[in-house]
Amino acid sequence: MPINKDALELRKKVLENKPSFVRQESWRYARLSESWRKPKGIDNHQRKQKKGWPSLVKIGYGGPKIARGLHPSGYTDNLVHNLKDLERLDPKTDGIRFGHGVGKRKRLEIIAKAKEKKFKVFNARVSTSGSKS
């Protein structure tokens, strides 16, 4: 049973009413991906929010405040670079994600400590045996 279950359900409910924000005319040209870009032209129909054009990204479409920063598992997502970062977290509510620059040796040390304290690790990516992967 995930923690913060009510916050995750609320976030899911709010997400149902959120439109899918697409880049202007991405449906028209194959060279344009659907990833959102803000329309900036002076006569742009989407920027002016004319009828029949997709919605613009606005602050009002944001998710509920209590669900922000939560991993889908319900734990808060915390970036960890060393053992010191691990000490200030609570295993009951906080999950850990390793920083990009954390090497294999330090990662193994942190994984061992995290298992000992029963932390949820989101991107372990290294086997604890110490062999190359």
Tokens 């040209």 identify what position?
Answer: 29
- Contact of 8 with 72, CB cutoff 8 Å: yes
Q: Rounded to whole angstroms, how far apart are CA atoms 113 and 129?
A: 15
16-to-7, 19, 66, 75 alpha-carbon distances in Å: 15, 8, 17, 22
pLDDT reported for residue 128:
56
Domain boundaries, the chain: 19-59, 76-121
- Contact of 94 with 73, CB cutoff 8 Å: no
pLDDT reported for residue 106:
93
What tens-digit pLDDT sequence spans the chain (133 residues)?
Answer: 578 899 999 999 999 999 999 999 999 999 999 999 999 999 999 999 999 999 999 999 999 999 998 999 999 999 999 999 999 999 999 999 999 999 999 999 999 999 999 999 998 876 555 555 4
